[in-house]
Chains A and B, each alone.
Chain A
Amino acid sequence: MSRRLTLIAVLSIQIIRSRAIEILINVILLAFLAITALSLAFTKDLFASVMLTGIYSLLSAAFFVLMDAVDVAFTEAAVGAGISTILMVTTLTITGRYENRKLYHPVIALSVVIVTGVMLIIGTMDMPAFGSDTAPAQVHVGPYYITHSGEDIDIPNIVTSVLASYRGFDTFGEIVVVFTAVIGVLALLEFSRKENEVVNTPAPMFQHKILRIVSKILIPPIMLFAMYVQFHGEYGPGGGFQAGVIFASSIILYAMLFGIEQTRKAVSMPVVKILSALGVLIYGSVGIVSMLNGGNYLNYSVLAESDITGQHVGIIIIELGVGITVATAMILIFLTFARRIGKSNPNSGTKEGTA
């Protein structure tokens, strides 16, 4: 009897200790997040603030891992800390490094922000406690997804089955938004420019021999990893969005080291533009094909003989469409922005940055 008691005591001490460590990590991460956000608000150096947003995304990714949302963490690390930081740095090289002198008084804006913040905090009073199992989000369709995903779709990663199967319409909407962003960027920057205007600047990092060699070694594994993430999405964290961003980052790495013109020779721009539309087309066509087979739009069950095989086929195809569109969208946006670096900019009255 006493042995059992000591065993229980030891076990409970271990549980308390691991719980305490978890709380400690949570508190430290949250503190880091708050510090990063505050320094972000007060810095005047735009380059530093871009780097701080990257750090913020990485910290959030760590936080999501702690909350067992590995898919979200993956996306946050790839998109928030990776691609968007690169895009913002690229934009900074065009615009300049420091904030303009303030020409307005931010009192009104500040008061609006404070009032909104207070209202948001008051709004959280009515919200259910963190992790509460009676919260509306947990009792609506969540239990159905968790209990029926196994027999309906039969893939281990419920996140992928929700994204691609149960909520296929939403994901289609997301991918259309990504495609629309590309069209917007191209319409504003690319088509208004004369095509024969070639910038004869050398590759931006021509003297960085070590960087170039190491990147040459690393680019193939990055592309391979993107493929792994793309086709592993049903079994673990991953899928089209993350894979597309990772694949695009390898091309962007190449562009940063070997120059934009060199990349345009390696990656055919017309093909990339067609591919970015093709990804959306693939996704939409899966819906049409399932309608032709007698089901609803994006009902993959009718794509093959058995329901489950149909679901698997549908998920793989639409994830491929998502991956293609996201990758090409990122490449197009980066190359379009980066090509404007070095052009004379009459609008920039401030001193030119060296970021």
Chain B
Amino acid sequence: MSAILDGFSWALLILGGFICVSGAIGMHRFPDFFSRMHAASVTDTLGGTLVLMGLMLQTDGQYLVLVKLILVLLFILITSPTGSHALAKAALHGGLRPKLGSKQDEKDADVLNNFGHQPTSDTDSRSFNTDNKE
């Protein structure tokens, strides 16, 4: 039983490590900011989760360590996607546009260019940024 658990844990650890390394490669090879950030964030979340789950299987009855690892996993799952979201949104607000493919959709480009701008007239009610005040 413990051998199976150990093997499973190692499989998770190695898979998580592979995903982290592939994320690092993607971060250096991808063409523009948004795809690089995507590579970093997705692999960071998934790779981190897998590594932490692999470590959880190694705790071997030390419940304090297990609880700490679960907390770390929880906070990574909350903060890592939020951080990437904030980063992407800040870049878009700052005027950085994603590199689109050769079939550049006019509508998409229009939406992206209007991103973050206040609707200029009331006819423009279907603007991307609906700025609702709480």
Q: Which residues of A contact B (CB under 8 A)?
A: 206-208, 210-211, 214, 217-218, 221, 354
CB distance from A21 to the nearest CB of B (A): 15
CB distance from B88 to the nearest CB of A (A): 11
Q: Is B29 an interface residue (CB 8 A)?
A: no
CA distance A211 to B131 in the complex (A): 15
CA distance A201 to B71 in the complex (A): 37
Tell me if A354 and B131 are in contact (CB < 8 A): no
Tell me if B131 and A218 are in contact (CB < 8 A): no
Question: Within residues 76 to 126 of chain B, which ones have a CB less than 8 A from any CB in chain A?
Answer: 78-79, 82, 85-86, 89, 94, 116
Q: Is B22 an interface residue (CB 8 A)?
A: no
Q: Which residue of B lies closest to A215 (CB)?
A: B82
Q: Which residue of B lies closest to A222 (CB)?
A: B75
Tell me if B82 and A210 are in contact (CB < 8 A): yes
Tell me if B86 and A211 are in contact (CB < 8 A): yes
B interface SS class: helix
CA distance A8 to B75 in the complex (A): 43
Given contacts A206-B131, A207-B129, A210-B82, 11 further A-B contacts (CB under 8 A): A207-B131, A208-B89, A211-B82, A214-B78, A214-B82, A217-B78, A218-B75, A218-B78, A218-B79, A221-B75, A354-B94
Q: Which residues of A contact B85 (CB under 8 A)?
A: 210-211
Q: Which residue of A lies closest to B89 (CB)?
A: A208
CA distance A208 to B75 in the complex (A): 20
CA distance A217 to B82 in the complex (A): 12
Q: Which residues of A contact B131 (CB under 8 A)?
A: 206-207
CA distance A354 to B75 in the complex (A): 30
CA distance A211 to B86 in the complex (A): 7
Which 5 A-B residue pairings sit nearest by Cβ, starting from the closest?
A214-B82, A211-B86, A210-B85, A214-B78, A210-B82
Chain A to chain B contacts (Cβ below 8 Å), 10 pairs: A206-B131, A206-B133, A207-B129, A207-B131, A211-B85, A211-B86, A214-B79, A218-B75, A218-B79, A221-B75
Q: Which residues of B contact A217 (CB under 8 A)?
A: 78
Q: Which residues of B contact A210 (CB under 8 A)?
A: 82, 85-86
Tell me if A208 and B79 are in contact (CB < 8 A): no
Q: Which residues of A contact B89 (CB under 8 A)?
A: 208
Q: Which residues of A contact B133 (CB under 8 A)?
A: 206
Q: Which residues of B contact A206 (CB under 8 A)?
A: 131, 133
CB distance from A28 to the nearest CB of B (A): 14
Q: Which residue of A lies closest to B71 (CB)?
A: A221
Q: Which residue of A lies closest to B132 (CB)?
A: A209
CB distance from B94 to the nearest CB of A (A): 7
CA distance A207 to B127 in the complex (A): 14
Tell me if A208 and B94 are in contact (CB < 8 A): no
CB distance from A216 to the nearest CB of B (A): 11
Tell me if B129 and A208 are in contact (CB < 8 A): no
CB distance from A329 to the nearest CB of B (A): 26
Q: Which residues of B contact A214 (CB under 8 A)?
A: 78-79, 82
CB distance from B65 to the nearest CB of A (A): 14
CB distance from A225 to the nearest CB of B (A): 10
Q: Which residues of A contact B79 (CB under 8 A)?
A: 214, 218
CA distance A211 to B85 in the complex (A): 8
Tell me if A208 and B78 are in contact (CB < 8 A): no
Q: Which residues of B contact A221 (CB under 8 A)?
A: 75
Q: Which residues of A contact B82 (CB under 8 A)?
A: 210-211, 214
CA distance A217 to B79 in the complex (A): 11
Residue of B82, B86, B131 with highest tally of chain A CB at under 10 A: B82
CB distance from B22 to the nearest CB of A (A): 20
CB distance from A355 to the nearest CB of B (A): 10
CB distance from A353 to the nearest CB of B (A): 11
CB distance from A92 to the nearest CB of B (A): 15
CA distance A206 to B89 in the complex (A): 13
Q: Which residue of A lies closest to B131 (CB)?
A: A207
CA distance A211 to B90 in the complex (A): 12
CA distance A214 to B75 in the complex (A): 11
CA distance A189 to B48 in the complex (A): 44
